[in-house]
Amino acid sequence: MKINFPNGTADLDPSQPLIVLGANGSGKTKLCLEICDLNKDAVAVVSGYDAQNFDLNRELGSARGDMAIRALVSGLNAILSRILINKKLAFDSGSVCVSDVSGGAEVLYPLNRLSDGEKGMVFYAYKTLVLKPESVLIADEPELHMRRSVCSKLWDRLEALRPDAAFIYITHDMDFAVSRNSSAALKVGSYSVDENGNERWEYEFINTDDYPEFDKSALYEILGGNGKFILSEGTKESLDYMLYSEIYGDRGFSVIPCGGCQQVMKIMRAKKRRGLFENMEIYGVIDRDFRSDAEILELSEDGVFCIKVAEVENLFLVPELLRIMQIQLGCESDALANAEELIRSIYGAEILKQAAEAFKIELNKKIGKINFIDGKLGSKDVEEYIYSEFSEEKIRSLFESKKRLYSDAKTIDDVLRIFNYKDLSKRIGSKFGLGGGDYPKRVINLLKNDSGAREKIISAIAPYLPAFGDDARPAKRL
């Protein structure tokens, strides 16, 4: 389907909805309105804001009682039947209304008593039904006022209803964008108006299949963002995301959670290898875990940087922050000392387990270095490698080195740098009069609420984080 764009024409595939991405102020909505103007009646634009002022009865006009209109309402009910539970559209005194049987008996009431999300469903269903054949429907913020699951289900049905139409979505909900299951994207770079009043856009069509290393949600975030990103482990519910969003957000970075550290590494290595997004600042930030200094240095060459403690949970336990929280929570003067003593006590009981886990991980890495590619490595080669790298002497030496590493950790900083124990940040709360996992939550809330403690907390944690760009904060040693 050929459609006019400001800088030329483009072929839209009705089976591949087009996802429009771009930073705030890049002119996404203006671009789509321009596309509508350039294509006259072949393109229609619907907005989540327009949905709130939509009046179906006014739209139907004086003809609302005839058979055609009844067929249209029947079509709307067919679309909405699995979404509007216990509700459907009906006629009362010649007007369309809502029939609600959620209480058992049928109750009729006006359309304006529907929730904002329900009004949006009716609006989008109607606009899709009356869309001209083989035309384009642009939906601007279709997720507005709707739960994500409901929004996705609605647009699934609308797309299936109109296979002849091409759908274009402008959305800030990357999960909804991913749910469209499309490889077609449009990155809007900038919008400007010259001295003569002529509007100009910079935009680029993207095939997301060209980025197989990227999780699609992360790719959409990058394409639609401000050009400065931190790729982290975890999800948007994880401590990584919540903490880094507050600290790196102050420096202009958007944080994109990618799940595990392997996915962060995969994306950053692909970026370096393929020369992708070179005009952007993108860094990976992951836990140190059991990595050696040599491994950390090697990762940094790919743009992946480790925090200066073993796990993100340990950032909540650094002495500088414990001191601040003792004051913020109004604790006794010995709370800090008691907290540090608890850290040492738990660490002391776990030293052998930690050393054994580090030893096991090191062995697995050595095994992983055996190259079986193309079957060129024979059994004799494997045997020689095993005898060489896993001799009794080397095994004993490796294990003893791990034991020394953990036994030699004396200061709290030394312990936090190598101690992988996720519950530690939760257990510390008891020394501050808090239960369960409340301690990390209190730290996050103080950061979010922009309290007087916010800058103090950031200053306490920042030295344990990688610094990027113009940030000149002092960093803790690895």
Instruction: Summarize pLDDT for 29-55 with one digit per residue, the tens.
Output: 999 999 999 998 899 999 988 988 899
Give kind and range of the element (H or E) at residue 315.
none
Query: So what's the pLDDT on residue 2?
Result: 93
**Residue 63 pLDDT > 60, yes or no?**
no
Indicate if the alpha-carbon torsion angle 327, 332, 334, 338 is positive or negative: negative
How far apart CA 248 and CA 199 sit, in angstroms, is 34
Is the distance from CB of 410 to CB of 418 less than 8 angstroms?
A: no
- pLDDT at position 475: 46
**Integer Cα distance of 177 and 185 in angstroms:** 10
Across the range 53-75, mean pLDDT stands at 80
CA distances from 40 to 34, 37, 458 (A): 10, 5, 53
Residues 96 and 36: their CA atoms lie apart, in Å, by 30
CB neighbours of 153 closer than 8 A, spacing ≥ 6? Answer: 82, 83
At 210-220, the pLDDT tens digits run: 999 999 999 99
User: Is residue 232 over pLDDT 70?
Assistant: yes
The arithmetic mean of pLDDT across residues 237-265, rounded, is 95
pLDDT value for 472: 44
> How far, in Å, CA of 276 to CA of 268, rounded?
9
SS3 content of the chain, % helix, strand, coil (to 5): 50, 15, 35
The pLDDT of residue 474 is above 90: no
Main-chain dihedrals φ then ψ at residue 84, nearest 5 degrees? -85, 90
Q: Assign 285 to helix, strand or coil.
A: strand
Nearest Cα to Cα of residue 167 among 176, 175, 158? 158
Q: Contact 384/378 with Cβ under 8 angstroms? A: no
Residue 450 confidence class, pLDDT cut points 50, 70, 90: confident
How confident is the model at residue 435, as a pLDDT? 85
Query: Cα separation of 404 and 178, whole Å?
Result: 48
Structure-token pair, residue 182 = 């499309």
Cα 66 to Cα 391: distance, rounded to the nearest angstrom: 89
* H-assigned helices in 216-334: 216-223, 239-249, 261-274, 293-300, 319-328
Arithmetic mean of pLDDT over the chain: 91
Q: How high is the pLDDT of residue 405?
A: 96
Q: Which of residues 466 and 437 earns the better pLDDT score?
A: 466
pLDDT at site 477: 44
What average pLDDT does this structure show over 334-349?
Answer: 96
Q: Give the tens place of pLDDT for each residue, 143-174.
A: 999 998 899 999 999 999 999 999 999 999 99
Checking if the pLDDT of 376 tops 70, the result is no
366's tokens: 């050595």
Q: For 167-236, give the DSSP string.
A: EEEE-S-HHHHHHT---EEEEEEEEEE-TTS-EEEEEEEEEGGG-TTS-HHHHHHHHTS-SEEEEESB-T
Confidence of residue 378 (pLDDT cuts 50, 70, 90): low
Q: How far apart are CA 81 and CA 200, in angstroms?
A: 43
Average pLDDT over residues 231-254: 95
Predicted confidence at residue 245, as pLDDT, reads 96
Torsion of CA 211, 215, 216, 221, to 10 degrees: -100
Q: How far apart are CA 288 and CA 164, in angstroms?
A: 52
Tens of pLDDT along 389-412? 788 888 999 999 999 999 999 999
Across the range 301-328, mean pLDDT stands at 97
Residue 449 to residues 246, 439, 452: CA-CA distances in angstroms? 10, 16, 9
